[in-house]
Amino acid sequence: MYTRAVALTNCWRTPGPGRQYARMRSTVLALVALSLVSACKRGNKDRPGADQPKAGLLVGLVTDVGGRGDQSFNDSALRGLESWAASSKFQSGSYTRLTAAERSATIPAELAARITPIEVKPLVVQSKAQEDYQPNLQLLVDQGASLAIGTGFMLENAVEAVARANPGSKFLLIDSPVLDTKGQPISLPNVRTVVFKEEEGSFLVGALAGLVAKDKVGFVGGMEIPLIKKFEAGFRAGVKTTNPKASVLVQYTGSFDNVQAGKQVTADLLDKGCEVIFHAAGSDGNGVIQAVKEARAAGRGVFVIGVDSDQAHLAPDAVLTSMVKRVDLAVWQAIADLAAGTFGNGDLRMGLKEGGVAMAPVTLDFPDKAKVLEQVDALRSRIVAGQITVPANQAQLDSFTPN
């Protein structure tokens, strides 16, 4: 299912003292200086290092190129570290403490009893280009991070290289296992990986889209890669289950950080008559949402479905729901295990049953809403019970029969 990330990232396989690494390291140091000063200025007892007290764990996170503010994947990871674990928010170059009410507002009701604060200091490094990933991760290690988090499958090569070079450091890789040169998953003693059953959550929003739309629905993906194909396959299967006569039109932007591209392909789908559009396109999805929002403002009865985070706040009158991928939960759980001294390596898979994916609350009205949501919830229960196996690729979709 996974392809070797090197084809996409063009990252270096080993860190070194060469001129290019030194230049990149200098650039990254400038990017994180304000955050690092905020984390460490309270005195020597808070300085990161081997003798740092457990209550002062420094946890670092490297974003992918979508970065902070994507309102989706990266922001979900940041929420797990900053809001849920550290009870902090990053504003104007430094961290401030969240009030109890502010922190609670970021946590869904079903997780409220589980997500407790953890005394950690966050250190976030934003990647401006794919070549940044490896030096950014090495920087976190150099600064004494007790855990370094790589956010996104494109960091797979970088996490592997830095983890091998620093066997005494711990790493969390989100959205991909560590892969060998043949693309097969391998285990490293200091790396935990988490992948999600995106197809299951996408199935639910697809089922909803099929019940809300009459004739046509749309899907906008970012890069046309196996990971995003999981979203597409699950979405198609959900539509097929509840509205087998509906057409599913698909567009890919080829990126995850081009808002205008997302808006352009969505305009095309709307012109072709799509009534509900689901995106799995990172920051490009902000353009998808904007295009549907503008269409709604012009009087068209169309909806958009967000991804990774609950994106209703971006367009409350247009976002029907979101396929939530609990990157925040995976990050928080790893930090909780670190603080408890139970962090271990291994590969985790999180689907509906494990709480790794979900459908966000549906706040907009449409005909027969209560009945429609009952049907979708019944499908959810069947997936959790193992009665429906959701396809994760085209071959499985071709043989999928709704029942």
- Over the stretch 357-387, which tens digit does the pLDDT of each residue have? 999 999 999 999 999 999 999 999 999 999 9
Which two tokens mark 111?
A: 């997780």
Helices vs strands, H then E, count in the chain: 13, 16
Rounded CA-CA distance 206/199 in Å is 10
Average of per-residue pLDDT values in the chain: 88
Q: pLDDT (tens digit, 9 = 90+) per residue, 312-368?
A: 999 999 999 999 999 999 999 999 999 999 999 999 999 999 999 999 999 999 999
Tell me how many degrees the CA angle 197-200-202 measures, rounded to the nearest 5. Answer: 110
* pTM of the entire predicted model: 0.83
Return all residues near 276 (Cβ < 8 A) that are at least 6 apart: 209, 212, 213, 217, 218, 302, 303, 304, 305, 320
Q: How confident is the model at residue 53, as a pLDDT?
A: 33
Beta bridge partners of 204: none
Say whether 193 sits in a helix, a strand or coil. strand
Rounded CA-CA distance 380/376 in Å is 6
Rounded CA-CA distance 165/183 in Å is 20
- The stretch 259-285 carries a mean pLDDT of 97
Q: pLDDT (tens digit, 9 = 90+) per residue, 200-210?
A: 999 999 999 99
Question: Given 2.130.10.10, 3.40.50.2300, 3.30.2130.10, 3.60.150.10, which CATH number is that of 198-325+367-398?
Answer: 3.40.50.2300
CATH 3.40.50.2300, the chain: domain bounds? 6-196+328-350, 198-325+367-398
Length of the chain: 403
Alpha helices in 59-121 (DSSP H): 73-78, 100-105
Rounded CA-CA distance 172/188 in Å is 11
% of the chain at pLDDT higher than 70: 86
- The stretch 86-98 carries a mean pLDDT of 94
Tell whether the model's pLDDT for residue 393 goes beyond 50: yes
The CATH number of the domain covering residues in 6-196+328-350: 3.40.50.2300
Tell whether the model's pLDDT for residue 18 goes beyond 50: no
